[in-house]
Amino acid sequence: MPFITKSVIITGATSGIGQATALRLAKLGANLTLVGRNTDKLKAVAANCAEVGKTPLTLEVELTNESQAGSVITETVQKYGKLDVLVNSAGIIETGSIENTSLSQLDRMLDINLRSVYNLTMQAVPHLIQTKGNIVNVSSVAGSRSFPNVLAYCVSKAAVDQLTRCTALELAPNGVRVNSVNPGLLVLLSLILYVSLK
């Protein structure tokens, strides 16, 4: 199993891409730290991971809280002795245009989708340099293309893409790879529909 010696943090592990990533890496033997805001969902995903791999470390954390976010790195390294991979999958989507997206809504989107990614990445970097590790940022097709009525989301994901490019350039000399995945139109339209109907 290719990940049997690897220590991996996955944020947003309670649903969607984060959850699917957790289950896949569990099957590959990874030592997982699953991060989310919902205790029951975290326990459920952890149980599913344990059925196919090792029992993961679970951390109920609000990533916009800087001290809580720092504990993710600290507790992972304490448990596994190192950090090999950081998967920044946590994020939210909300609808709104330039006519009705408030500054508080923009701030909330940027706090979760960008600022928390920046903070966790910054704290993980010293450990990833030691292992010549990897960072994977879950962005969106909305980071590179424009869509109506999801303005703040598009802005936040465009920023994640630029963060990815800049950190990839900066960390390459240290052997750390940084990439983003940009899920496509069908996923985005499903999310928009889901949010609109809530």
Phi, psi of 29 (to 5 degrees): 90, 10
Distance CA 184, CA 189 (A): 9
What is the dihedral sign for C-alpha 13, 128, 67, 31?
positive
Q: How far is CA 187 from CA 37, 84, 181, 184, in A?
A: 22, 28, 13, 6
| Radius of gyration in angstroms for the set of CA atoms belonging to the chain, rounded to a whole number | 16
In the annotation, is 118 catalytic?
A: no
Dig out the tokens for 137 from the structure: 């940022």
Residues 6+ away with beta carbon under 8 Å from 119: 63, 66, 69
Active site residues: 153
